Structure 1
Amino acid sequence: MTKLRKVDRRTVYTISVIKDSFLELIAQETYDKLTVAKVCRKAEITRSTFYLHFDNLTAVLDAVLADALLFDQSPKQALEPLTSIEAFKQNESLLPVCQRIGATSKYQKLLMDPALSDYIIGAIMKHERANVVPGIQAQTGLNAQDADLLFHYMIHGSFAINKQHHFVKDDAWYHELQLLNKFINSGYLAFKQDV
């Protein structure tokens, strides 16, 4: 957890340096190999300075993920049925936040770290649940518990597909996006018809 301190330019700068150093190190080695000492050396700060701002490495990870999720401020689109293949390329409304974060090279290595997948998926789900589950309910007529189950399935599956492509949007990725969006959209319509 980030410690509460008076926020001045020096504090903002130090926190930024710690997070940037953390991301640079993640690009070189996995999270389970990182230490506070390595982050401090990279950031050129003392351990006491580190602990003035963060309790541990998990707190830095949480702050970096919060930045990534806040960075993803693309307009929230309603989960509307998609009707044409071209619409799939232009409308990524069924695409979870993990791809939008992954589109920024700063976070790609973090997302690819096998030691962090479950932790990152959990952070994404926590961030997106309040926006996405009601959209699934509106599209399907399902109750909140069942919509949450679909949300859980979609986030885990989408993260796996995006990770398989190293979070790079290429032709193969767009093909899979179209296929999966069509699958999801058809499922939404089927649920809607059952209501």
Structure 2
Amino acid sequence: MSAKTITESRRTRYTRQAMRDALMELLADRTLAQISVKQLCERADVNRSTFYAHYDSLEELLRDIEDDTIAWVRGALDQLLNQSDQAGIEHIIARICQYIADNRNHLQVLMSPKADLGFQQQLLGLIYSRRDVASQLQPYSDDPAEAEMRMRFAVSGSIGLLQYWLATDLAAPADTIARTICAMTMPQTQQ
């Protein structure tokens, strides 16, 4: 079950954001299994009853955060890929990297090595599985096994680079990370 249906007043949005922020702060130092609802409520300065009015569990709160991130990426991809000039893969990856930079507090936790690798793979798999994007990553052969290996390398390598970037507190600009991802994952045209 996703987040409980509650009228989205300004106060409700503030409370939900406070709980999200508190969970991300707690996850920076410990695993989800080591966090209690009581600890989260103390950090967010909300009552337990308030927490349970919004979520059934900490896992549901985390899924809500992950789902919002996935929804943004899906929407950004749809928007970029539907542009008349057919935005290139580097532009798409640059937008995603800028989103990561703009939302670094949450994404430093979500993309960390101790976080849910399934979410990370889902996030980048969403990007690389799009036909428009995948066609740019395909090798110059019709070998499906090679195409699958290239896709897995692109996803895993991108996760590793993004984790490094976040661990260094975004020492490089987002467009530099996007160019590096593209250079490492896309085959160069053969002369």
Aligned twin of 2:164: 164
- Structure 1 183/12 Cα, relative in aligned 2: closer, same or farther at 3 Å? closer
Superposed CA RMSD: 3.7
CA distance, structure 1, for counterparts of residue 105 and residue 67 of structure 2: 14
More off after superposition, 142-151 vs 44-53: 142-151
SS, match of residue 63 in structure 2: helix
| d(CA) in 2 for partners of 1:149, 1:114 | 22
Counterpart in 2 of 1:45?
46
SS in 1 for 2:187: helix
Structure 1 segments unaligned to the other structure (5+ residues): 82-90
* Mapping for residues 10-159 of structure 1, pairs under 5 Å: 10-27=11-28, 29-32=29-32, 33-72=34-73, 74=76, 76=80, 78=86, 80=88, 91-94=90-93, 97=96, 99-104=97-102, 105-125=104-124, 127-128=126-127, 132-137=130-135, 140=138, 147=147, 149-159=149-159
CA contact (8 A) 2:41 2:48 kept: yes
Letter in 2 for 1:158: S
Deviations 1:75-109 (A, max 9, x none): 5355758xxxxxxxxx4445694x34431232243
SS in 1 for 2:80: coil
Judging changes above 3 Å, is the alpha-carbon distance between structure 1 residues 152 and 35 closer, same or farther for their aligned structure 2 residues?
farther
Distance in 2 between residues matched to 1:145 and 1:49, nearest whole Å: 50
The alpha-carbon deviation at position 71 of structure 1 amounts to: 4.8
Between stretches 42-51 and 99-108, larger displacement belongs to: 99-108
**What's the secondary structure of 2:186's corresponding residue?**
helix
Q: Secondary structure at the match of 1:186?
A: coil
TM-score by length of 2: 0.67
Contact between 2:4 and 2:53, CA under 8 Å: does it hold in 1? no
Between the aligned residues of both structures, percent identity stands at 17
Please tell me whether residue 185 in structure 1 is matched to residue 186 in structure 2.
yes
Change (3 A) 1:160 1:154: same
Q: Report what 1:87 is aligned to.
A: none
TM-aligned CA deviation for residue 112 of structure 1: 4.9
Count of paired positions: 176
Q: 1:155 to 1:12 in 2, by over 3 A?
A: same
Instruction: Give 2:172's aligned amino acid.
Output: D
The amino acid across from 1:170 in the alignment is A
Name the SS for the 2:7 alignment partner.
coil
